[in-house]
Amino acid sequence: MWARLTPMLVAAAVGMAGCAAQMDMQTQPIARVSAIDAGELEELIGLIAEGRYEEASSQIPSLAARFESRQERPRAAESLFWLGYCYEKLDRPAEAAQIYGRVLKDYPQEPAARQAAQRLALIPRPTANPQPVPGGMD
Amino acid sequence: MDEQERKPETRLEMLLGRWGAEEAIRGAEPGAPPLPQGVREPRQQKPARPPRPPRSLRPLLRWAPAAAAAALLVAAGVVLYIVTRGQMDKAGSPDAAGPPPAVAAAEQKAQKLQTELAETKKQLESSMSDLKNLRARLEDTSARLANAVEQEVHAAEIERLRTDHQAEKRTLVEQMEGRLAELNRQAEAKEKQIAQLNEQIDRLQQDLTAATASDAALKDELAGAKRELEAARQGQAATVGELNRQRKLHSETLDSLAEARKELSQMKAQFSSILDDFERMYGAAAVAGRAGTDACQQAARSANIVARCATIRGDAAQASTRKLLETVETVFTRLDMLDPRDGRSAASFASLLARTDLRRRIDVALSNVAQDTQIRALLFEAKLILAGVENVG
């Protein structure tokens, strides 16, 4: 009986190993791109810590769009928060409030939402409806 | 050409002598015709140079008297022949009683011929006299002509000599001018050399003056150096004493410094221990029951670091402090959003801390004693929390 089962077990094992390898080959490029974008986010936060808000704010929207397209919600929320943070430091409070509001609306469960709420509370209310943000994704 | 030949007078005399000799030879060649009687011999002016008529008339004048005498002899012969023939004719005729008419005619004719002969003789004598006069005039003219020719020759010779003399003089002048120009050039070259030598002399004089001045200055300096050396020797003794005293003092100071270092080391150890205890107490008070990044996040939230940064940033007097507070705000915002469950988050936060050099900048700001109290408290609390994060990392 074992003699009959052994080839079948080997074939099953080989088939399962092949499927696992194929799945790994499909997910590996996505993980690599995600790591690259995560590194880019770290680099942009470094720019913000150095006070280079204008430079960082010009690169964040595309990065946030890539995180959103891959459903990486924590990083997408954090990217949007840092965009609002840059607008706040660049003395563009209306645009900052709009971005913070979007973080609260789209990513209420993420840690960035708590920070966005705190910062939004410190921003004075705009007197008129804010214009659409150029870097926004709505 | 020697000096004697160069003199114009000497050369003129030589040329005249040579010309006179040639003329004497030339005059001695033809033989002089015999002079008729009564003709005075020409005056002998100089035996060496007798005056001569022109060469074309000279043969005629020499043979004219002989020709005239021959013509007279021929005429006399003709007359005698005619007379003799007439007498022969008379003697032979048949009627010789009285002179026949033909003889008479012949006698008349002969008489007439004698008369003509006498006239011809007179004419001949007159001609001879005229010839004599002419010869005298010719002699005189020849003498004057010879004088004129001689004078002309002399003048030509003098002119030639003058020309030669002028040419020689011109040559000499040119030679002298060339020599003078050469001498001028040599003089200019010499002047240049003299000028250069003068310049060299001036330079040497200046150098000598400078060297003399330098020598004097060096002597003064040497005297000063000697004085300074003496003073230095005197000071050296005092310095040696002072040095010994300072060495002793230095040794005592080193001992004191070692003592102070030892005390400082002990104080640093005590301070470090106190700071560690404080950090532990601060962390324990802020984040009771938490650990790791989560505890640091909780401590930052409890201290409300981010909001306080935004509030007190306006109180900072220095731009560097305001910039530091902005960095603290950014870093603590990042800390607040870290995922404590993600192991990579602690590493990325440590990288951000290293990039901003935040702890060193906080220490520099805290060393400023004039810093605002609230800012100092905030920065100190931030330093404690970041120390906890580093310990976690």
Distance from CA of B352 to the nearest CA of A (A): 6
Contact B129, B36 (CB under 8 A): no
Query: Is B355 at the interface with chain A, CB within 8 A?
Result: yes
Both tokens assigned to B189? 């070259």
CB contact under 8 A, B352 and A50: no
One-character DSSP codes across B259-310: HHHHHHHHHHHHHHHHHHHHHHHHHHHHSTT--HHHHHHHHHHHHTHHHHHH
Closest CA to B280 of B385, B393, B390: B385
CB contact under 8 A, A42 and B339: no
pLDDT at A19: 47
Task: Enumerate residues 304 to 343 of chain B having a beta carbon within 8 A of any beta carbon in chain A.
Answer: 306-307, 310, 323, 326-327, 330-331, 333-334, 336-339
Contact B321, B349 (CB under 8 A): no
Query: Model-level pTM?
Result: 0.45
Both tokens assigned to A49? 């810590």
Q: Which amino acid is at B213?
A: A
Contact A27, A70 (CB under 8 A): no
Both tokens assigned to B5? 């030949």
What residues of chain B score a pLDDT lower than 50?
Answer: 1, 39, 44-45, 96, 393
Within 8 A by CB and 6+ apart from A136, the residues are A61, A98, A99, A102
Listed ranges A23-27, A97-101, B194-198; the one with the highest mean pLDDT: A97-101
Both tokens assigned to B351? 């990288």
Query: Is B356 at the interface with chain A, CB within 8 A?
Result: yes
Within 8 A by CB and 6+ apart from A33, the residues are A66, A70
CB contact under 8 A, B337 and A122: no
CA dihedral A109, A110, A112, A115 (to 10 degrees): 40
**What are the residue ranges spanned by the domains of chain B?**
3-21+61-181, 287-392
Nearest CB neighbour to B337, from listed A42, A89, A115:
A115
Query: Is B273 at the interface with chain A, CB within 8 A?
Result: no
Distance from C-alpha of B60 to C-alpha of B139, rounded to nearest angstrom? 14
Whether the pLDDT of residue A16 is over 60: the answer is: no
Contact B279, B388 (CB under 8 A): yes
Full set of structural domains in chain A with CATH? 29-122 (1.25.40.10)
**Mean pLDDT, to the nearest integer, of A77-105?**
95
Give the SS3 label for residue B289.
coil
Whether the pLDDT of residue A25 is over 70: the answer is: no
Whether the pLDDT of residue A59 is over 80: the answer is: yes
Chain B CB contacts of A45 below 8 Å: 330, 334, 352
Q: What is the pLDDT of residues B336-387, one digit of tens each?
A: 988 878 778 888 888 999 999 999 999 998 888 777 889 999 999 998 888 8
pLDDT at A45: 94
Tokens 């003048």 — which residue? B155
Closest CA to B312 of A100, A101, B278, B303: B303
Name the DSSP letter for residue B93. Answer: S
pLDDT at B1: 47
pLDDT at B48: 52
